[in-house]
Each structure stands twice: as C-alpha cells, then as structure tokens.
Amino acid sequence: MESDASEVLDLARLQFALTAGGHFLFVALTLGLVTVVACLQTKATFGGGELDARLVRFWGQLYVVNYAVGIVTGIVMEFQFGLSWSGLTHHAGNVLGATLAVETIVAFFVESTFLGLWIFGWNRMGRWAHLAAIWIVTLTAYASAYWILVSNGFLNNPVGHRVEDGRVVLADPAAVLTNPSALLAFGHVLAGALLTAGFFMAAVSAYHLFRRTPEWVFFGRSLRVGVFLAFPAAVVTAVLGGLQMASIAVLQPVKSAVFRHDTAELARLQAELTARFGPGDYIPSEAWTRGGALVMLIAFALMLYLTLAGFVLAFFRNAVFRFRVWHVALIAAVPLPYLAMIGGWVFREAGRQPWVVYGLLRTEDAVSDLSPAAMRFSLVVFTTLFAALVVLNAWLLGRHARRGPGDVALGRDERADADTDPRDGPPVGPADALPAPRY
Amino acid sequence: MPSVETLAVALLGFYATGYFVLAGADIGTGMVAPYLGRTDRERRLVIASFAPFLLGNEVWLVATAGVFVGCFPVLEGELLTGQFAVVVPLLAGWVVRDAGLWLRGRVTGRAGRGWRAGCDGAVVCGSWTVALAWGWLLAGVLGGTPGRVATGAVAVVTSVAVAALFAAHGLGFAAARLTGPPYERARRLVGRTRAGGSFALTAVLMAAVPVAAGTALPLAGAAADGATLGLLVPALLVVTPLLVAVQAGTWWVFRHRVTGPSYL
C-alpha cells in the first residue's frame, strides 16, 4: 500500500497549501486594513469632521466584508492540524499545541468578541468605548499573527525544546517566543499586510478618481493615505526580508542554496544530511522554492518603483486628481502584494521540505493515517468552498468599492431604518442623509 | 490543590460548555429561521436576534479546539483523524452557515432578493449540518469509539436527538430575544413558560452534552507534558475570567429584545 500512503501525503499537502494559502490572502488585507481603520477612527474621534467619519465607515465596511470571509477560512485551518497532520500533534504537540492554544484564547477570542462589539455597537456605545474596541481588535489581530508565526517559526527553526522518547518537550519557553525565525517573519508579514492595504486603498481611490465620480475629495484623501502608507511599508518589508535571507543562510542552508541555485553546495549538503539522518532526498523542490522566491522578488521590485514614484506624485494635488496613467497603474497593481505574499510564503514553506519540523520530523511521518478516498473527499469539499469564498469576496469587495461611500451599511443608525427597510423598497438612498454618526 | 491535569480538563470542559450553550443558541435559531421568519424582512430580524453575539459565540469552539490541542495534543489528533468523516461536514456546514450570515445583507435592493434567499438557504442548511454532525460525533464519543465514526441506528437516533435539542434551544433563545410575528411563532412552539424559562432548561441540557462527552473521552493520562501544562494552564486560568467578563459585557450591551434589523 506504498502508493496509497504517498497519494494521501500529496493530497494532504495540496489541501493544506490551498487552505493556508487561501486563508493568507484574506489575512494580508485584514491585518493592514484594520490598522488603517483604527487610525482613521482615532482621527475622527479626536474632533475630526464629517469626512473622517465617512472614511471610517467606508473602509471599515470593506474591512468587515474581507474579515468575515477570512474568518471562516481560518476556522478550517485550525482543524487541519488534527485532521490531516495528527503526526505533527503527536510528535510536536507539546510546543505547537501550546502556541496554537494561546493564539486562540489570548488573541483570537478577544479579537472576535470586540469586533462584534465594534460592528454592532456603532450607535449604541460611547464614541471612546467604540474607538477602544477597534484598537483592541487591531492589537489582538497583531498578537494573533505573532502567535501563529511563533508556531510556524518553530516548524522552520525548532528551538527551546528537547526530544524525549521521540517526542518534543518544551525546555526553554523564552527561546520559543523569541525565535528569530518567528520575530523576523512577524515584522515582515505585518509590514507586508500594511503594504497590501496601502495598495488596496490606492487602487479603489484611483478607480473613483479615474472615473471622475462625485466623491473626489473623499478619494483624493484616501489615495494619499494609501500611497503614503505603502512606501514606508514597502521599505520595512524589504529590510526585514533581507534580514530573513541572511538568517536563512545560517538556519536553513538547504533552502538558501536552492534559492541561489548553488549545485555544488547542494551536493555537499545532501551528503552531509544523508550522513546525519540516513538515506533520503533532502533537497526541496527547486521549482517551488526558487519559483516562489522569484515571484516575490519581481512583484516586490515592481511595487517598490511604483510606491517610490507614488510617494513623490502624491504631494502634487494635480497628479492626485488628474494623472490618469498613474490611476490606471494603481488599479492594475492590486494583485502585486498578493503575488508577493503568496510567493514568499511558498518559498518559506516549500523550501523547508522534506521536513515539517526542520531536522526533527519529516512531512511524510506527520500525515494522518487516512484513506486516499477520505483525503480526496475533504480536498474537494474544502477547495470548492474556498474557491467560492475567494470569488465571492473579490466580487463583493469590488461591488462595495465601486459603489463608494454613499451606500455603506456599516455604522448606519439602525433606529433610523427600523420602520422603513430600504431592502424592500427602491434602491438605498445615500447613508449621509441619515443622522450623522456620533463623532 | 487540584493537579494541573485536572485543571486542564476543567478548562476544556468550560470552553466546550460555553460553545454548546452560547453558539448552540444561534445555530438553533438558524435551524428554525424559515419557520420564524416568513418574509425577507422577518428573517433579517431573526438573524438580528443573535448577530452581535455570533462572533463571540463561535469563538468558544475555536478556544475549545485550542485548549484541546494545547493540553491534549495527541488525543486531539487521534479524535479528529478518527472522526474525519464527521468533522469535515461539520466544518463545511460551519463555513457555509457563516458565509450565508455575513454575506446576506451585503447585496441590497431588488436585485439582491435572489442573493438573500440563497444566503438564507445556506444559513439553514449549514445550521442543520452542524447540529447533525455534532450529534453524529457525540454518538461516536459516547459510544466509546472516539477513534471510529459511529454507524447504525444509534448514530441516526443520537444525531436527530442532538439536532432537536439545538433547535429547541434556538427557539427558546428566539422567544427571549425577538418581537413581532417571529416572536409570536417562537412563543407558540415554546409554550407558555415564563420568558427565558425554556431557554434556561435547554441551556442546562446543552451544557450536559459536552460534560457527558468529556467523561467518555480518555482524557486522564492523555495530557501534554508537564513543562507545557505548567505554563499553559495558569496562563489560560488568568485570562479566562477576563474573557468571560468581556463577553458578559457584550450580552449586557445588546440585552434588549430586537425590534429592527442590524448590520447582517
């Protein structure tokens, strides 16, 4: 039944890659956009005008749509470990399980509860409490990303443990929490998320300015926020990416050699690892590892030029409102941060193969003992659902972005439309006609 | 002074109970939504009854899974892999239901009628799938075969019984939260108990479900290594009262019966 085992392994890997990658697409925008929304709301609360309040609601609505679809993909992620990779919980559960547990309870639990308060408590809570809610959501979202990268950092660079009876035991918690593989990745992903949000804001704004919609003041401001955010975020992402490359050369020499296409070094490492761990193929797929890194670097180079030019252009009022070529470039650039994110992630994870926990546990030894039929069934179920969710999310984000700030349900005063539900009647009137939000 | 393993079991039980009592209410309400709400607007009101709590409710299961994998990693892997055929539909139902709830109100106007009807279908089908899958999973755990999916009449009867309990819990919740025609319909089925009386009764029954499952699981001796538990359990014990306080605050803010639609 050798072929069955290898089929299950391939299917389980494909399923994990698709669910984690699908989830990551949502997270990238969520994490960046929530920061922007929290900052916008801070300005609106500290004596901002009507425009500030409308900015919070419009960008907040896009954030909530993206978050809601992202959260359901995250739920599937959490259960993937136990479902398909019970070998991982069996061998490394003492470290990996604990970090996942802390993520769910200390970070995600708080984030979800406060997000519910923020969305539904818009006209019920005091404005300071409401502002505190979005900041708690933002900070716990960061905490969540940190704990997930501590878990992932342990897979890439297992530290702070010892092995007893073939199982990992926690030895030095501080080392696990300050793992360079986790900290550098955390900063890199966070800056990448802000970059994604900056590109997204700039593109939506550029669309409205290009179409010359009536909301030019609104989107002029938004475009500037997006562009001024994207440039520093790109620089920080690049710096932390460079530091990670240097760290990989030490911690994961095989990944580094595959990236540099250094065949002599690879032959030497293969011989060294064979001597240490027994016969086997210790070189990850060059197509995925090197390919992922190149996609990331090319997308990144394009973004860097675009954000640098944008950073200068955004200082000129005429360029912001009339430079239509720039508007088109910004709209076309929306996929770039996503390509870079996915490329970098493929590089990180494909490059660690054949290990699931680097140097400790092979991927083939971590997969659950399941039949190929069961694995195929769940792959079809989850892939169909995720593909549908990605398409729906893109369609809804596009729809709400195109409609602009005149038709935003988030933060609408429920008391105003309790009697006349606009859904049953003709198209919704501008939300601005309703009582002004309490900022 | 109870041992750290006992405290880990208590934490697992606490979060699982929280999930069944709290999320059980919104899942149950989703199951009976077509009965309670006959028009688009009425169904939106039904959803508004639990909308502010939705995120806060389902996160109890995320936390349960977190405590499970953190404190009992080997057992978590064995249970999920053994119950693969049940857990996959459970998760799929959860995803479909949540997507329906979150996306329902995002397409407005006449053009969105079909969209909202489709989302309502997703909410109802997803809610029933989740409830039935829980019953099926419990049939395996309570039948003493957590590593194998339950089959036969026992599985069918347990699934239907647990799903009926979810629905009854949802009806009680709806009777305590709604107004207008949906309230009248919930009231008709719940009977003339005092407001919240039926909900309190089903809440006790819902709480008994994970407790029974916990006693059937081989939790003793399955806990993670002492070095892990020694850090994890105290940390979780410190955080848990804060989480409960925050959720209690949410329920207080939205304690009044709903009379109008909300964001969803």
A75–chain B Cβ distance below 8 A for any pair: yes
Q: Which residues constitute the domain of residue A110? A: 1-252+284-413
Report, in angstroms and rounded to the nearest whole number, the Rg of chain B calculated over CA atoms.
19
Nearest to A119 by CA among B48, B189, B27: B48
A384 within a domain of the structure (yes/no): yes
Nearest to A74 by CA among A13, A134, A145, A137: A145
A261 within a domain of the structure (yes/no): no
Each residue of B67-104: pLDDT tens digit? 888 888 888 888 888 888 899 999 999 999 999 999 88
Asked if residue A418 has pLDDT above 80, the reply is: no
DSSP B150: -
**pLDDT given at position B1:** 56
* Torsion sign across C-alpha atoms A219, A225, A227, A233: negative
A99 within a domain of the structure (yes/no): yes
How far is the alpha carbon of B157 from chain A, nearest alpha carbon, in Å?
Answer: 24
Residues of A in contact with B56 (CB under 8 A): 112-113, 116
A110 within a domain of the structure (yes/no): yes
Query: Which of A67, A112, A415 to mutate to probe the B interface, most B CBs <10 Å?
Result: A112
Each residue of A9-49: pLDDT tens digit? 888 888 888 888 889 888 999 999 999 999 999 998 997 78
CA A393 to CA A387: how far, in whole Å? 10
pLDDT band at A416 (very low <50, low <70, confident <90, very high): low
pLDDT band at A425 (very low <50, low <70, confident <90, very high): very low
Domain residue limits, chain B: 4-253
Asked if residue A399 has pLDDT above 70, the reply is: yes
Contact A73 B95 (CB under 8 A): yes
One-letter amino acid at B59 equals V
Mean pLDDT (chain A, rounded): 86
A378 within a domain of the structure (yes/no): yes
Residues of A in contact with B44 (CB under 8 A): 421, 423
ipTM given for this complex: 0.89
Asked if residue A187 has pLDDT above 90, the reply is: yes
A436 within a domain of the structure (yes/no): no
Tell me which residue in A81, A370, A396 faces B84 most closely, judged by beta carbons: A370
Query: Which of B41, B45, B60, B62 to mutate to probe the A interface, most A CBs <10 Å?
Result: B62
pLDDT band at A435 (very low <50, low <70, confident <90, very high): very low
Q: Which two tokens stand for residue A221?
A: 């401001």
Each residue of A115-173: pLDDT tens digit? 999 998 888 888 899 999 999 999 999 999 999 999 999 998 888 888 888 788 888 88
When comparing pLDDT for B222 and A113, which is higher?
Answer: A113
Nearest to A360 by CA among A277, A285, A289: A277
Contact A421 B247 (CB under 8 A): no
B102–chain A Cβ distance below 8 A for any pair: yes
Helical ranges in B49-112 per DSSP H: 51-71, 73-82, 84-104
Contact B41 A423 (CB under 8 A): yes
Instruction: Specify the number of domains making up chain A.
Output: 1
Helix (H) or strand (E) holding A167: strand A167-170
The SS3 call for residue A164 is: strand
Q: What is the pLDDT along chain B (264 residues), one digit of tens a residue?
A: 578 888 888 999 999 999 999 999 999 999 999 999 888 888 889 999 998 899 989 889 989 988 888 888 888 888 888 888 899 999 999 999 999 999 888 888 777 888 888 999 999 999 999 999 999 999 888 887 888 888 888 889 999 999 999 999 999 898 888 888 888 888 888 876 776 788 888 899 999 998 988 888 888 777 888 778 888 888 889 999 999 999 998 898 888 888 888 888
Helix (H) or strand (E) holding A245: helix A216-251
Asked if residue A371 has pLDDT above 70, the reply is: yes
